[in-house]
Amino acid sequence: MELKRVVVTGLGALSPIGNDVETTWNNVRRGVSGAGPITHFDASLFKTQFACEVKDFKPEEHFDRKKARTLDLYAMYGMVAADEAIKDARLDDETNDKNRIGVIFAAGIGGLHTFEEEAGYYAVNHDKGPKYNPFFIPKMIADIAAGHISIDHGFRGPNFATVSACASSNHAIIDAFNYIRLGMADAIVAGGAEAAVYPAGVGGFNSMKALSTRNDDPEGASRPFSGSRDGFVIGEGAAAIVLEELEHAKARGAKIYAEVAGCGLSADAYHITATHPDGLGARLGMENALKDAGMKPEDIDYINLHGTSTPVGDIGEAKAIKEVFGEHAYKMNLSSTKSMTGHLLGAAGALEAVLSVKAMNDSLVPPTINHEEGDEDPEVDYKLNFTFNEPQEREMNAVMSNTFGFGGHNATIIFKKYQD
């Protein structure tokens, strides 16, 4: 069968550097860090005492009191970002067949705060017998953001969540892409949300030695590909994109940001948390994406890197890029926007997809901030253009976005400029 073309018609974001797409993108352009001392809980006894939190988010501005009581913060974030993307795409228009509009929305963890509160309450009061909030399960489960978005907008197409750690929301976008190009939906709201900046999240990652402990310099802590990097900075928030079948989008006069060119999936089959040291799975994912898109390596102008600022992960990704792209690797721009947003875990891929599309539309490569002269890693090839510290103007016809998750899950997406 002939596969249908799929385009991006709506964008939404709620991030540590902006509560909508434009604010987030403007701060990315300026190289603004979203890191600061943790405010969600007292982190004074934790090895890591900072994070990239969403700022000035007031649930009462988006939900009535009764509704808010039924929602974990992660779901709130996801619903707000999805609402922005849906409004941007004009997808709520009653002329659209809502039976053919779906929601595929990811979370790497889900309602961690709700789980921690409920489990903690029972642990303290176990002698009084079980007593749980009736909303405990529906607040906590990782698919509930997708369910709420569907219910709020009456979208009755494919509806579920993807969970693959830090690759979760790239997998959501890829699933949406595949359902639409197979003709199983006209449009799908895809993305991810996460709110894990709580004791269990920070403490759990601390125990793995995965987080930066640069408490004296939070804004400078996320420093992908620099020699002094010491772990990722945990972030929170959500992002959403509306994917739509091309002819459906054209028929209703939708604005088109980009076309989804292809996707690549792979597994490291190596370790439960560490990426393959030679980037084997990352290489396979990028190669599969190029093959699916019918593109050559030299067609890619920019890669939004997974680039978490971990000692092993950054090296493996850089090695994989050199293997896949050969000499062209030195002609592309590379950057990690996690240096500004922190690592949004299950929402990372969706936010980076939004930023990749914005970069291509504005012909501006976002920077990898916090690199200092002399702070080199002997295992990193600095002939690669990591776009350190300052954005770079560049015409881009195709961009790639990488995500890799615990468990060895790899998901790569390619967006290209739309041409009729």
Q: Give the residue numbers marked as catalytic.
A: 166, 306, 343
Q: Do 59 and 76 form a contact (C-beta atoms < 8 A)?
A: yes
Residue 205 half-sphere exposure toward CB, CA atoms < 13 A? 26
- The separation between CA 66 and the C-alpha centre of its own chain, rounded to angstroms, equals 29
CA distance 228 to 214: 10
Closest to 348 in 3D by CA, of 258, 233, 262:
233
Q: Do 6 and 245 form a contact (C-beta atoms < 8 A)? A: yes
Long-range (24+ apart) CB contacts under 8 A made by 45-50 are 46/199, 46/202, 46/203, 46/206, 47/206, 47/211, 47/213, 48/202, 48/205, 48/206, 48/211, 48/212, 48/213, 48/215, 48/234, 49/215, 50/214, 50/215, 50/218, 50/221, 50/233
Residue 36's CB is within 10 A of a number of other CB atoms, namely 14
CB atoms within 10 A of CB 93: 10
Residues 6+ apart with CB under 8 A from 229: 212, 223, 309, 310, 311, 314, 377
What count of other Cβ atoms lies within 10 Å of the Cβ of residue 363? 12
- Whole-number Cα distances in Å, 354 to 12, 195, 357: 8, 19, 5
Q: Which residues face 54 on adjacent strands?
A: none
The rounded distance, in Å, linking the Cα atoms of 39 and 57 is 12
Q: How many CA atoms lie within 13 A of 230 on its CB side?
A: 12
Pairing of strands 159-160, 364-365: unpaired
Contact 238, 80 (CB under 8 A): yes
